[in-house]
């Protein structure tokens, strides 16, 4: 309990203080809503438009989740190939770096123009591309940091290269893998939202933000932004929970020994 208070209480107090100062500044100084709506106005817009916000969050979250799964799967598979075959590693490393160098704002409109405006495939593809690079780089680093004695032991047991990767390298690379996932999970949400700015179905958070801002409904636009922040935090929390679940069996086994 004390540890939870030490780690959780300071950011909560900081957030509450910032919201109070934000409310005081916007009300006392009379800041117009098109510059910065007050937290109370955003909260009112959030509650009055909750159903629409929830539907938009589900649409964006679905695209981000599919992109996260696809990008993570491809990143892990590519990392295993890169570690297993040096030639493939050089090719995939250059490909991953090139994919990471392409800005989302340049990629999203091109993909939207390539596919029908009635499909979410371009947005999912953008999210998958954004997720691929951090997962690939982190997993490759983890797979290459396995102690040599473990690899030599598996070789002495006549294990194949894939068996060594599956039973030794991949479990040892889990901390690095989750480091990449912690970066990739919120990035998938951001990528899906940005991709919605450039056409396609108008049912996600990104399109609702631009629509509300265009109609000068700034508190409502900020309410959608708040939903996007919550969605990104939920993705990050899911990754952190999954990381803790994968660590628990190891800790239990170590204690039993």
Q: What pLDDT was estimated at residue 119?
A: 83
Q: Is the pTM of this model over 0.95?
A: no
C-alpha closest to that of 198 among 90, 114, 112, 69 = 112
CA atoms within 13 A on the CB side of 101: 6
Residue 3 lies inside a defined structural domain of this protein: no
Domain range enclosing 98: 56-246
Residue 32 lies inside a defined structural domain of this protein: no
Residue 185 lies inside a defined structural domain of this protein: yes
Q: What pLDDT was estimated at residue 252?
A: 43
Q: Are 205 and 228 in contact (CB under 8 A)?
A: yes
Q: What pLDDT was estimated at residue 49?
A: 92
Question: How many CB atoms neighbour CB 248 within 10 A?
Answer: 10
Q: What pLDDT was estimated at residue 154?
A: 61
- The number of domains in the chain is 1
Residue 5 lies inside a defined structural domain of this protein: no
Residue 35 lies inside a defined structural domain of this protein: no
Q: What pLDDT was estimated at residue 160?
A: 60
Residue 175 lies inside a defined structural domain of this protein: yes
Residue 2 lies inside a defined structural domain of this protein: no
Output the domain CATH number for residue 65.
1.10.3720.10
Q: What pLDDT was estimated at residue 98?
A: 76
Residue 38 lies inside a defined structural domain of this protein: no
Query: What averages of pLDDT result for each successive group of 10 residues across the chain (257 residues)?
Result: 66 84 83 82 92 94 95 90 78 76 79 80 90 90 72 59 67 85 93 86 88 89 94 93 76 42
Q: What pLDDT was estimated at residue 256?
A: 43
Q: Are 129 and 75 in contact (CB under 8 A)?
A: no
Measured distance CA(86)–CA(123) in Å, rounded: 32
Measured distance CA(111)–CA(170) in Å, rounded: 33
Q: What pLDDT was estimated at residue 79?
A: 87
């Amino acid at each position: 309990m004390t540890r939870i208070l030490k780690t959780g209480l300071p950011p909560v107090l900081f957030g509450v203080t910032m919201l109070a100062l934000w409310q005081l500044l916007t009300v006392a100084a009379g800041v117009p809503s098109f510059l910065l709506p007050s937290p109370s106005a955003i909260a009112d817009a959030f509650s009055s438009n909750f159903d629409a916000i929830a539907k938009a969050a589900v649409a964006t979250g679905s695209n981000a989740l599919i992109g996260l799964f696809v990008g993570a799967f491809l990143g892990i598979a590519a990392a295993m190939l890169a570690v297993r075959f040096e030639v493939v590693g050089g090719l995939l490393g250059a490909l991953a770096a090139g994919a990471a160098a392409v800005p989302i704002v340049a990629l999203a409109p091109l993909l939207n123009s390539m596919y029908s405006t009635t499909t979410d495939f371009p947005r999912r593809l953008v999210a998958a591309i954004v997720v691929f690079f951090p997962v690939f780089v982190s997993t490759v680093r983890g797979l290459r940091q396995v102690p040599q004695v473990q690899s030599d032991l598996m070789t002495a047991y006549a294990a194949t290269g894939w068996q060594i990767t599956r039973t030794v390298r991949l479990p040892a690379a889990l901390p690095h893998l989750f480091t990449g996932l912690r970066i990739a999970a919120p990035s998938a949400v951001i990528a899906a939202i940005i991709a919605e700015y450039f056409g396609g179905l108008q049912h996600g958070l990104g399109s609702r933000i631009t629509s509300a801002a265009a109609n000068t409904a700034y508190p409502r636009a900020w309410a959608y932004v708040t939903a996007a922040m919550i969605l990104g935090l939920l993705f990050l929390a899911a990754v952190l929970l999954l990381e803790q679940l994968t660590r628990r069996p190891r800790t239990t086994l170590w204690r039993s020994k």
